[in-house]
Amino acid sequence: MSGASDAAWRLDWISRPAGPLRGTLAVPGDKSVSHRALMLGALAEGDSHIRGFLEGEDTRATAAVFAQLGVSIETPAPGERLVHGVGLHGLRAAGRPLDCGNAGTGMRLLTGLLAGQAFDSTLVGDESLSRRPMRRVTEPLERMGARIDTREGLPPLHLHGGRRLEGIRYESPVASAQVKSALLLAGLYSQGETEVLEPHPTRDYTERMLAAFGWPIDFAPGRARLAGGYTLHATDVQVPADFSSAAFFLVAASLAPGSDLLLRAVGLNPRRTGLLQALRLMGADIEVLDERASGGEPVADLRVRHAPLHGVELPEALVPDMIDEFPALFVAAAAARGTTVIRGAAELRVKESDRIATMAAGLRALGVTVQETPDGAEIAGGTVGSGTVQGHGDHRVAMSFAVAGLVADEGVRVEDCRNVATSFPGFVELANGCGFALAEA
């Protein structure tokens, strides 16, 4: 796409100084839980009702894939899905490529799930997803007996059906919930046991949800083990509010003087909340209220009030538990007093964009001193200037720079923001409703 058509497709924002941020917010449902609820609901016996479903482009892409595979999915109301499960062996060949859009979670988990089917499948994605590495998933799956053709380790992925899968014990070289989940889903179709060991514990959404759907699984931080030969039973799922979406407001209210925000029913899976701990180390004032369980996941209300932040040397132990929240942390570090040092976050270089490079370049455009390293950055905080930054088609980068505009001298223009709809539809309206000054350019 080029010229006038490209300009028409692209969406730019201007975020101006504003605040204080006040009110009570309900951010959208958790994307990771929404993906997994669809997948397990599709493979279960019976009908599963999902409430709090994220109405984002990524999750809708996954729903469309299962519709192509012969699963009936109804939408009784916005944020709800009724999935008529077809059982573990009830999926049907699609006859055409399965388009995952921008959803890396969708593609990687589907690779594991489809590796054990009797039919061939081809997974494709948009331009951004087509640049994301898939060998980390395909190589261990091939050790299980799958046959997967790639474009030098990149999508599209062609999965050959009719393969006999054998469970393996896999010591993952990367801490990735997507890799772990892909292998566990393939393990449903495998002979014997599948066990995944991780260098650092990652999110256990798949493990918790498999248990909720009745599949025997043994898991603890850093490991998960299951055997094939069982049945998934339909269950109703209440999706908690997405911590990654709440993250932008936790940072924004911490930075904007006079702010006092309450975020309702946010998912607090312990493998997800590294940013909460990081912000507290920086001096943030965040209260966890009314802790409870929802659909097997811990949730709570979060009250965040403005507090002066200071730079920290981020403990590497927190990195796996906040990998999606680093763009927001970069902005918090830029506005904090002193220097923040980030190490052990090389995974950021293979997200929707190279998030270390994109955030560093954007912050430099706003006058912030940033020293990039292979696995992180050193950010000299203090003041954030005005300027134009690139969103690089990365939803989390775009929203993070919208937060930066709150405390910039005269505001920030953020170019290429359309992909925000993949994870946070309605972000602009919700942000402006609590005190942002965010508009289309």
Q: Where are the domains of the chain?
A: 3-29+240-440, 31-238
Question: What distance in Å separates the CA atoms of residue 216 and residue 231, rounded to the nearest whole number?
Answer: 9
3-state DSSP of 297-359: EEEEEEEEECCCCECCECCHHHHHHHHHHHHHHHHHHHHCEEEEEECCCHHHHHCCCCHHHHH
Asked if 324 is an active-site residue, the reply is yes
Upstream peptide bond of 156 is cis (omega within 30 degrees of 0): yes
Contact call for residues 51 and 80 (beta carbons, < 8 A): yes
pLDDT at residue 329, as a whole number: 98
pLDDT at residue 9, as a whole number: 53
Report the candidate in 123, 128, 130 with the shortest Cα–Cα distance to residue 62.
123
pLDDT at residue 221, as a whole number: 93
Question: What distance in Å separates the CA atoms of residue 285 and residue 279, rounded to the nearest whole number?
Answer: 8
Identify the H or E element spanning 207.
helix 205-212
pLDDT at residue 1, as a whole number: 32
DSSP, collapsed to helix, strand or coil, labels residue 390 as: strand
Find out if CATH 3.30.1370.100 is the number for domain 31-238: no
| Tens of pLDDT, residues 48-100 | 999 999 999 999 999 999 999 999 999 999 999 999 999 999 999 999 999 99
Burial of 74 (0-12, 13-18, 19+ CB in 10 A): exposed
Upstream peptide bond of 199 is cis (omega within 30 degrees of 0): no
**CB proximity list for 7: less than 8 A, separation 6 or greater:** none
Structural class in CATH, domain 3-29+240-440: alpha beta
pLDDT at residue 295, as a whole number: 65
Report the candidate in 32, 33, 110 with the shortest Cα–Cα distance to residue 65.
110
pLDDT at residue 5, as a whole number: 34
Spell out, as residue ranges, where the chain has pLDDT lower than 50.
1-8
322: Cα within 13 Å, side-chain hemisphere:
26
Q: Enumerate the H helices of 44-176 as residue ranges.
A: 57-68, 104-114, 135-143
Would you say the CATH fold of 31-238 matches that of 3-29+240-440? Answer: yes
A 10 A CB-CB count for 27 gives 25
Question: What distance in Å separates the CA atoms of residue 386 and residue 286, rounded to the nearest whole number?
Answer: 28
Catalytic residue among 324, 375, 409, 416: 324
Structure token digits, residue 393? 């088609």
